[in-house]
Structure 1
Amino acid sequence: MSVAVALTDSPEGRRALDAAVAEAQNLGTGLFLINLTLHDFTEEELPSGLEVTVVNRSGRGDRDPVTAVIDELGDHPEVDRLVLGVRARSRVGKMILGSVAQRLILRSPVPVLTVRQDGR
């Protein structure tokens, strides 16, 4: 059993990481960090006291973030939940831009725990 987090370079991503660490600690399991930030993590940035597996993307042209996350979840059956950071968007923003988080919620093969940036 493992908790996955799709981590982005945003306040929502950092909030998702905090929630995923808490969830993994609560369950006594490892953390599977899917790094969508385009920078590699240093030891200092990773949570201590947990077994952490990091999967890095190779660059912007790597692949669609949703496809990357779904592929990783498919390749790692030990992951039994996904943590995502989300933010409120206007109706127009949803219609025009779409949302990586929304697409992941709809396509994820495992249950998804969403965390709003403001902590509600």
Structure 2
Amino acid sequence: MTVMTAVAEGREGDQALAAGIAEARLLGTDLVLVNLRLSALDHSGLPEDVTITLVERSGPGDRDPVDAVLDEIEARPGIDRLVIGIRRRSPVGKAFLGSVSQRLLLQSPVPVVAVKPPADRSP
């Protein structure tokens, strides 16, 4: 059993990373991080009590992020669930603009845990 987390840019990616680590700890299993960011993932905050495999993409010229995640799931038969970060989008935004998260929800061959960051309560 292994948990995979797709780590995108921004707060959604940070929330997915935290949730993926928590899920791996809860299940007592390994964690595979697929870095969808355009820069390298900062290793300094990663815990030492969870075995983590980091999959880096090569940058903007690399393959589609959804394909990168789905290919990793296919290449690793032990993946039991995928953790992704989502953000609130209007119905019109969903209809006209595809998102990596939405495509992963629809195309993933394993169960998906979708988390969103806490609401920004700035005045």
User: Structure 2: which 5+ runs fail to align?
Assistant: none
**Higher mean displacement: 73-82 or 90-99:** 90-99
Equivalent-residue separation in structure 1 for 2:41 and 2:86 (angstroms): 22
**1:32 maps onto 2:35 in alignment:** no
Query: In the TM superposition, what whole-angstrom CA distance separates every residue of 1:19-53 from its partner, at most 9, and x where no partner exists?
Result: 11011001000110000012223431322211000
TM-align CA RMSD = 1.2
**1:98 maps onto 2:102 in alignment:** no
Shift of 1:78: 1.2
For this pair of structures, how many residues does the alignment match? 119
Percent of pairs with identical residues:
52
> Residues 1-120 of structure 1: matches in 2 within 5 Å?
1-118=1-118
* Residue type of the alignment partner of 2:92: V
Equivalent-residue separation in structure 1 for 2:110 and 2:66 (angstroms): 14
Shift of 1:98: 1.2
- Aligned partners of 1:12 and 1:117 also within 8 Å: yes
TM-score, normalising length: structure 1: 0.93
TM-score, normalising length: structure 2: 0.91
User: Structure 1: which 5+ runs fail to align?
Assistant: none
